[in-house]
Amino acid sequence: MVFEQGEWQYRARVGDWYATQDCGVIGLDGLRLTHRADSLVKVLGELVNPAQIESALCDAGLPVGCFAVLAIPDPRKEHRLILVHENLDAALVSTAMEVYHRACAGYARIDGEKAVADFPRSDLGKILRGVLRDIFYK
């Protein structure tokens, strides 16, 4: 299926495989998806995966679905990383950021934080990251 001219249209597969931007690791327990190739950004010449940073911030105590790490174009660093959250407790955010920054590489540090009342979301409840980025950084 492809989305063209405002609607979904069926397209037959050309080969034996489907081409996607999904990346993963094949291990003894099967295939584990790790990220999408089109979601990686460069910061100080290094590829950074914002979804991986979000996972680390969840491990550090931030609630799933209440924050996003955005990559904002920057003339010196190529991109800078900003944490945007839905009015989370300041102490919780500060603690999670400290835990994350102790473990992360220097180029993967979060440069700033913004709080919003509500995220723009799709009909399925997913955060509309492009819209969110445009709200703050257009």
**What are 46-85's pLDDT values in tens digits?**
999 998 899 999 999 999 999 999 999 999 999 999 999 9
Q: Which domain holds residue 118?
A: 38-137
Whole-angstrom Cα distance, residue 104 to residue 3? 37
Q: Is residue 31 part of a domain?
A: no
pTM of the model: 0.75
Provide the residue type at 109 as one letter: R
Q: Is residue 25 part of a domain?
A: no
- Is residue 19 over pLDDT 80? no
- CATH number, domain with residue 79: 3.30.300.30
Q: Is residue 121 part of a domain?
A: yes
Tell me the CA distances in angstroms from 90 to 15, 70, 82, 117, one per residue in order.
Answer: 51, 19, 15, 14
Count of domains observed in the chain: 1
Q: Is residue 81 part of a domain?
A: yes
Q: Is residue 124 part of a domain?
A: yes
